[in-house]
Structure 1
Amino acid sequence: MKKWLLAVLCASTVVVCGEARAQDIVRIATEADYPPFEYTSASGDMKGMEIELGDKYCAAAKLNCKWVNMSFDAMIAALDAHKIDAILSQMGITAERKKSVSFSAPVTYNSVIVLGPNGSAITDDTATMKGKTIGIQSGTIEEAWADKHLKGIATVKLYDGQDQVFQDLQAQRIDATICDQPVAYDFLRKGGKAEFTYLGKPLNDPATLGSGDTAIAVRKDDTKLLAALNPAIDAVRQDGTFAKINGLYFPFSMMPK
């Protein structure tokens, strides 16, 4: 009987200790299909501006972090289910998302633009999109904007990833895409500039697009993780690390305003 009780206690201890170890690892979700912020290299490693920034935040906060690659539109549900602990994947701060998650201090500033073929009559004015097909990544603030502004005007085609949107844009299966400006810039820089360009001005609708700031999302009750991350985000800004990493990817600043 003593041996049986000891075995049960040991098994229980292993489970408890295993949970404690799992909690010590901060699992950060990102979608490694969104260059230049996060992507998978030929060797299978995660690369990109936010991967580098995230590693710096974890180091400054003395956190043991692990990257988890998943679809963007599945992240908040995974956070609620405790399958991950944080999200760093160009997630814009919006009033709607604040109902589900808590946000860290802003990480980057990001505008939203319309991208399409050179010479297109489409602009940021929704009237110019009438009868057109607009490609958008699902689960994003761009989808929320389209739900509000394009119903009955344009056909909105949703995709799992922005790379798929760009592929259909190049194949002329859609007329334009609405996406984050830095991601559009990277697409143009890598060869799309000859055929495509920004169409009109950046979109402006705080109700769906937020202020333009992106941040790390955590569970609503995870004040401990926020308390570790916020000073680290500030330290990475103040010591010049943010500007250095930013300069590796963009000729313009992504520093939050």
Structure 2
Amino acid sequence: MNKILICAAAATALASAALAESHSVVRLGTEGAYPPYNYLDDSGEVAGFERVLGDELCARAELTCEWVTNDWDSIIPNLVSGNYDAIIAGMSITPERDEVVDFTQNYTPPSPSAYVAMSDGIDLETAIVAAQTGTIQAAHIASMEDAVLVEFPNPDETVAAVRAGEADAVLADKDFLIPVVEESGGEMMFVGEDIPLGGGIGMAFRESDPEMREKFDAAIQSMKDDGSLNELIIEWLGEDSPRF
């Protein structure tokens, strides 16, 4: 009997060690194409608000992390299938996504979505509107009775569609669109009213990884408590971006 207990204990210890080893490096999945949240710099490294935030969260959680990029339209399926351990990619918390993955608390408050066009004489209720596939903005346009949704796999293509006349306007996070408008030299402009969508942005985890999610959730809370998260929001997303 003692031998059986010893073997069972050894097996449990080995399993725990294997689990710890499998999480010795936490892989953070991001898109790498959604500035200022995440993008690739000139050397091909992930950069932006979420890179700085993610590195700080890993340090506070005492975890070693590495960054992985993945196209937006398959970012949740590839998390679920184990290609990385968490998503930190400008992903708004929604009830539909929460049925598939588990979110931390939000690390940005709900921020507005906005329309950008080449002129201000557009009827947004009947317009052709570009949005990135699988986003809350695409879902919003699809729910409108008369507007026409055209979807693109990455956010830059939504803006390019408006410039090329393939769409009347683009709907996206306002934080993403502010530099687009500023750098257009007056060519592009905000039109219509801002639209509040989603429950803020959070990290997403497999439902089978509650302990890892809890570690990052605690790290996010610690950054809210000491004010450093608000400092990052101001630095990367601007003074006008909602904060805690």
Q: Is the 8 A contact 1:35 1:48 kept in 2?
A: yes
Distance 1:201 1:193 in 2: 21
Matched, 1:169 2:162: yes
**Corresponding residue of 2:144:** 149
Instruction: Tell me the SS of whatever aligns to 2:89.
Output: strand
- Mapped to 2, the partners of 1:216 and 1:79 lie a distance apart of 11
1:61-140 matched pairs, under 5 angstroms: 61-109=61-109, 110-123=111-124, 126=125, 130=126, 132-140=127-135
Corresponding residue of 1:9: none
**RMSD in angstroms over aligned alpha carbons?**
2.0
Decide which of 213, 219, 238 is 1:226's aligned counterpart: 213
TM-score by length of 2: 0.85
* Structure 1: unaligned runs, 5 residues or longer: 1-15
Q: 1:186 aligns with which of 156, 179, 184?
A: 179
CA contact (8 A) 1:133 1:175 kept: yes
**Contact conserved, 2:102 with 2:204, CA < 8 A, in 1?**
yes
Q: Secondary structure at the match of 1:91?
A: coil
Measured in 2, the distance between the counterparts of 1:235 and 1:50 equals 16
Name the amino acid aligned to 2:191.
Answer: L
Percent identity reads 26
Taking the aligned partners of 2:220 and 2:113, their CA distance within structure 1 comes to: 23
* TM-score normalized by the length of structure 1: 0.81
Instruction: Name the SS for the 1:112 alignment partner.
Output: strand
Tell me how many residue pairs correspond in the alignment.
227
SS at match of 1:108: coil
Question: Is the contact made by 2:120 and 2:191 (CA closer than 8 Å) also made in structure 1?
Answer: no
State the secondary structure of the residue aligned to 2:121: coil
Q: Does 1:200 align with 2:192?
A: yes
Residue correspondence of structure 1 range 35-46 to structure 2 within 5 A: 35-46=35-46
Aligned to 1:13: none
Stretches of structure 2 lacking an aligned partner (at least 5 in a row): 1-15
Question: Does 1:237 find its partner at 2:224?
Answer: yes
